[in-house]
A = this chain, B = another copy of it.
Amino acid sequence: MWKAEILAVGSELLIGGHAETNSLFLTDQLASLGIEVRFKSVVGDAEADIADAIRTAARRADVVVMTGGLGPTEDDVTREAVARVTGRPLRRRAQAVESITRRLAAWGRVPTTAQLRQALIPAGAEVLSNPVGSAPGFCLEWKGTFLAALPGVPAEARAMATAEVLPSLQRRIARRRGQEPLVPIIRRVLHTFGLSESEVDLRLKGVVPGGSGLRLGLQASPLGVLVSLTASPFGTGAKRWQSTRHGRAGEVLARVFHEIRRRLGEFAFAEGEDTMEAVVGRLLADKQLTLAVAESCTGGLIGHRLTQVPGASTYLDRVLVSYSNRAKVEWLGVPDRLIVKHGAVSKAVAAAMAKGVRKGSGAAVGLSVTGIAGPGGGTAAKPVGLVYVGLDWGKENSLTKEFRFHGDRHAIKLRSSQAALDLLRRWLLGLGVGSR
Chain A: residues with CB nearer than 8 A to chain B?
Answer: 11-21, 24, 27, 31, 37-44, 46, 49, 52-53, 56, 60, 185, 187, 189, 215, 217, 219, 228, 230, 232, 234, 295, 297-308, 310-313, 316-324, 326-327, 330-331, 360-362, 373-376, 409-410, 413
Residues from chain B with Cβ under 8 Å of A185 in the complex:
15
The complex places the Cα of A220 from the Cα of B261 at a distance, in Å, of 41
Specify the main secondary structure of chain A where it touches its partner.
mixed
Chain B residues with CB below 8 A from A410, complex form: 308
Q: How far is the CA of A42 from the CA of B38 in the complex (A)?
A: 8
B39 touches A53 (CB 8 A): yes
Contacts of A297 in B (CB 8 A): 307
In the complex, the answer to whether A189 meets B16 with C-beta atoms within 8 Å is: yes
B324–A318 CB distance below 8 A:
yes
Beta-carbon contact of B331 and A326 below 8 Å: no
A55 CB, min distance to chain B CBs, angstroms: 10
Chain multiplicity (copies): 2
Contact: B24 with A17, CB < 8 Å?
yes
Are A217 and B304 in touch, CB under 8 angstroms? no
Chain B residues near A323 (CB, 8 Å)?
A: 303, 307, 312-313, 316-319
- Per the bound structure, the CA–CA distance linking A189 and B16 in Å amounts to 9
- Which residues of B lie under 8 Å from residue A42 when comparing CB positions? 39-41
A13, A187, A307: most-surrounded residue (chain B CB, <10 A): A307
| Residue in B44, B230, B318, B330 whose CB lies within 8 Å of A321 | B318
With A11-B215, A12-B219, A39-B49 as given contacts, are A306 and B316 in contact (CB-CB < 8 Å)?
Answer: no
Name which residue of chain B comes closest to A55, CB basis.
B56
Residue of B whose beta carbon sits closest to that of A321? B319
Interface centre among A42, A46, A53, A322 (most CB of B within 10 A): A42
A sample of 12 more A-B contacts (CB under 8 A), given A15-B228, A300-B304, A308-B410, is A11-B215, A12-B217, A13-B40, A14-B39, A16-B187, A19-B19, A40-B42, A40-B43, A297-B307, A307-B321, A318-B320, A319-B319
Q: Complex formed: what's the CA distance from A17 to B223 in Å?
A: 15
Residue of B19, B31, B230, B376 near A24 (CB, 8 A) is B19
